[in-house]
Structure 1
Amino acid sequence: MIKLFSLKQQKAEEEKAAAEGKTKASAGQIRMQKDLSELTLGKGVELEFHMGADNLMEFKVHVMPDDGMYKGGRFTFDFKVSPSYPHEPPKVLCETTVYHPNIDMEGHVCLNILREDWKPVLTINSVIYGLTFLMLEPNADDPLNKEAATMLEQNRKQFEQIVRRTLRGGQMKVGAQTYSFASLVRD
């Protein structure tokens, strides 16, 4: 009963603020402001607020590894953060088609802190760090792209050749589907 009353009271306060032309920031927005103020972007990581500086809940992160198999590429991750953040993780999708064991060909990302290991104490900085690490050290033990994971485990040298080839662009057949890769190599 108390929860129902507090939800009704909160909704009434939000409606009153909206009628007065004021908008109350959600807990998620307040936490995002804190996370962003404490954000430390490493070398090769850029943040882009493509929906405008006022919308902190949707942004893109560009990861440009300077080491490892994906060195020289530019990988764009789209973040959508719900108003209930930090109680649920942000939704992250890789917009760059990449041959990677932890990123499927549709862009879904397999990172444990975006799923079962998420805890409200984690931050956007933690997620960006995790994505950066995935691009430096792919993990074949928890794959979304099983073909890439198998290749990485069984023939690392061939996997690296495929990664380099896809970074330069072109097409690749994965299962029954043919995927086109844009050239990702930076100057």
Structure 2
Amino acid sequence: MIKIFGVGRGKRAEDGKDGEGDAAVPAVKRKQPGEIRMQKELDEMELPPQCNIEFPDKNNLMNFQISIAPDEGFWKGAAYTFVFSVAPLYPHEAPKVKCETKIYHPNIDLQGNVCLNILREDWKPVLSISSVVYGLLYLFLEPNPGDPLNHEAAEVLRNNRAEFGRIVSRSLRGGSVASHVFPKLI
């Protein structure tokens, strides 16, 4: 069998020579498929007005923060920071998302873990970072007490929606809930 594509590439790459004498070929960092996909998504991304994206390291597209400031619902008036860590195998692997802002929410625990189905079992490579952002926004509009990480918050939401609203409001003003002190956000 004759190899037409890539003949001799492996040898030159291994010994660092360009085949034209002894001059070494400068190393060029190849982008991972996940980085290529992220660049494309970022070029096309249109975030809703209540969201803002920030890159702590401008040379690293795979780690960034998104701030969400819901304009309705229980958590209206405050901003919440989510840290995204995207694997090199993205989009075949879901991004890892953590909430940096301590929040009283049935689908976000006090350690910042987020319970969103598209970040787990329902992830598909056709989904995008925008899909995750809209999913997070939806959690602020329609929290899901049926699939909780914070079971106490979910139980209060299921049994007494008005009381849940009062507890969220207290937490946003820097109060404590069940011996957990929350940061003042409003």
The interval holding the TM-score normalised by the smaller chain is 0.7 to 0.9
Q: Secondary structure at the match of 1:147?
A: helix
Shift of 1:15: 9.7
Which of residues 30, 35, 43 is equivalent to 2:41? 35
Aligned residues: 169
Which of residues 102, 117, 120 is equivalent to 2:122? 117
The aligned amino acid for 2:83 is: D
Deviations 1:44-66 (A, max 9, x none): 1000101x221100000000001
Over 3 Å off, 4+ runs: 12-16
Higher helix share: 1
Shift of 1:180: 1.9
Deviations 1:112-154 (A, max 9, x none): 0000000000000000010011112111111111111110010
Shift of 1:20: 2.3
Aligned pairs (5 A) from 1:3-18: none
Which residue of structure 1 aligns with residue 181 of structure 2?
A: 180
Aligned pairs (5 A) from 1:7-86: 20-50=26-56, 52-86=57-91
Instruction: Using structure 2 for the length normalisation, give the TM-score.
Output: 0.86
Alpha carbons 1:14, 1:23 under 8 Å: kept: no
Segments of 5+ residues of structure 1 without an aligned counterpart are 1-8
Q: Secondary structure at the match of 1:61?
A: strand
Distance 1:102 1:125 in 2: 19
Larger-Rg structure: 2
Q: CA RMSD in A?
A: 1.9
Deviations 1:14-63 (A, max 9, x none): 996xx72310000000000011111111021000101x221100000000
The aligned amino acid for 2:183 is: A
Alpha carbons 1:148, 1:159 under 8 Å: kept: yes
Distance 2:35 2:47 in 1: 20
Deviations 1:65-92 (A, max 9, x none): 0111100011100000010000010000
Instruction: Using structure 1 for the length normalisation, give the TM-score.
Output: 0.85
Distance 1:56 1:30 in 2: 10
Which residue of structure 1 aligns with residue 93 of structure 2?
A: 88
| Percentage of pairs with the same residue | 52
